[in-house]
Each structure stands twice: as structure tokens, then as C-alpha cells.
Amino acid sequence: MASASFAVAGTRSAPGPAPTHELPRPEALNRAGFDQKLDAQIPLDLPFRDERGQAVKLGDYFGDKPVLLNLAYFNCPMLCTLVINGVVDAVREVALVPGRDFEILTISFDAREGHELAAAKKANYLKDLGRPDADKGWHFLTGDEASIRALTEAVGFRYAWDEKSQEFAHASGIMVATPGGRLSHYLYGVVYPPRDVRLALVEASAGRIGSPVDQLMLFCFHYDPVAGKFSAGVMTLVRLGCLATIAATAGFLLIMFRREMRARRTGKADARMVQA
């Protein structure tokens, strides 16, 4: 895992070795992260509630299809939204249908959140996805503290509540499990290439377990040196967004330029044929 350090503006170094000006990691952030537990069994008997408020068990969503799992809390001020947006973007481009080829479980790790909020979130993300057939394949669950703790410990998802900031510190990523509930793949960050997601789902459907991955970990937590809050990964996310925008714009311009050149060549060829 990568830690973030911040330079403190306006400080003056004393004689001797220059200070690094690294801000200490808050205790809550030290307890957040992902421990890859490939081939570990998800406890399928854990009770939760779906977005309709109905009592369910995790095992209700396993059996004959792989499962894409992401843990979030629905009132998260920033990173959870980016994670679920990343799921939407990947699923939109994958030639597999939620509910037919795989299941999606988005589970809140905040025991205070109820099914009403889960239902609202599901409606918003299904609308964004633009695939009505995904309604029966994407499930938003809430649960009590015991079920949440058992699940997060089983999959290696570590998070911590910070009383001062009234936020959870947590890392970003999604998991893919086999139809039998064994952890098959971990994908970190907030952008999940459709090819990687599809491959993970296909391998998981066959019961194959992937290899450990080592990626930069993004964290959700705020810090402002003046207000006393921590912000890890915020600037990284901003830079990633800017780079993605620049890359998309450049790609669009390149495609349009090539189309225009082809059109010009075609037009010149047609003109020569007419003249002939």
C-alpha cells in the first residue's frame, strides 16, 4: 500500500538535515486497506436485507453464476461513488448481462444505513447504467454490524470510523467470486478496464482463482492542515480524472481527424472518377 505525504507550506528548515514535512497518517487510515484473501470462502449464511427491506442471505446470490462484489457506504462523500461509477462504466462495456451471466452485490459496511437508502442508490445507478435488464442482477444490501464485520473480515476489507471527521477511512476496489463463493480476483482503484472485468468473471465462472495483484491503493479520508482533517488520494483522483479527460479528448480528436482525412480521400477519388 502506498501512503500519502504532504508538504507544509510556509515552513523554514533549521540548520542540519532538511525536514521531510511529512504529515503523520491518522490512526484511522492506518487501519484501512485490502488484504487479498484469494480462494477464501465468503460466509454465505450471513443475513442482510435487500433494497426492498426483505431478509436475505448472501447465499441467495450464489450458486450458478460468478459474483462481482463491492463494499461501500451509501453516504460516502466521495470515493465510494467513484468506485460504483467505475462498476457502472465497466459493466456497460462488458458483453455479459447482470442477472443472466453474473450477479453484482453492492453492500454497505455502515450498519446505520437502511434499505430505503439502498433502494434510492440502486435506482440512480441503474438509470446511469442504462440497462433495464440489470435490475434483477444488481443488488444493494444493508446489514447489522455482526454480518458486516464477518463479511469484511472474510474478504480482507479493512475500514475504520473516525469520530472527529465523522467519516469512514477505507480503500477502493472490487472483488469477483466464484459461483460457490470463493474469492477469485481483486481489482483495485476506481477504474476497472472492461477486459479485466470480463476475464475475471469468466475465470471465476469456471472456478479458477487469479493471482495476487499489487497496485496503488486509493483511500477515502479527508485532511486539511488548518481544519485538522486528512485527505489521502484526493489530488491523485483529481489528476487521474484530468488525465482521463485529456486522453478521451485526444482520442476523439484523432478519430475525427482520421475520419475527415478518409472523407477527403474518398471525395477526391469520386471527383477523379466523375472527371474520367
**Tens of pLDDT, residues 100-113:** 999 999 999 999 99
Q: Where do the structural domains in the chain lie, given as residue ranges? A: 27-232, 233-276
**Model pLDDT, residue 189:** 83
pTM of the model: 0.69
**Model pLDDT, residue 240:** 52
**Model pLDDT, residue 121:** 95
Identify the three-state secondary structure at position 23. Answer: coil
Q: Any residues with CB less than 8 A from the CB of 130 and at least 6 apart, and which?
A: 92
**Model pLDDT, residue 12:** 33
- HSE (CB half, 13 Å, CA atoms) of 91? 31
Report residue 207's pLDDT band, with 50, 70 and 90 as the boundaries: very high
Q: Any residues with CB less than 8 A from the CB of 252 and at least 6 apart, and which?
A: none
Per-residue pLDDT, averaged over 189-196, amounts to 89
Grid cell at residue 127: 438509470
27-232 fold: Glutaredoxin (3.40.30)
pLDDT of 235 over the 50 cut: no
Own/partner pairs, 76-80, CB within 8 angstroms, 24+ separation: 76/168, 76/220, 77/167, 77/220, 77/222, 78/220, 78/234, 78/237, 79/170, 79/172, 79/190, 79/218, 79/219, 79/220, 79/233, 79/237, 80/170, 80/220
pLDDT of 16 over the 70 cut: no
Which of the two residues, 181 and 32, has the higher pLDDT score? 181
**Identity of residue 216:** L
DSSP H or E segment with residue 185: strand 183-188
Taking alpha carbons only, the member of 7, 50, 16, 34 closest to residue 174 is 34
Report residue 9's pLDDT band, with 50, 70 and 90 as the boundaries: very low
Q: What is the pLDDT of residues 124-145, one digit of tens each?
A: 999 999 987 899 999 999 999 9
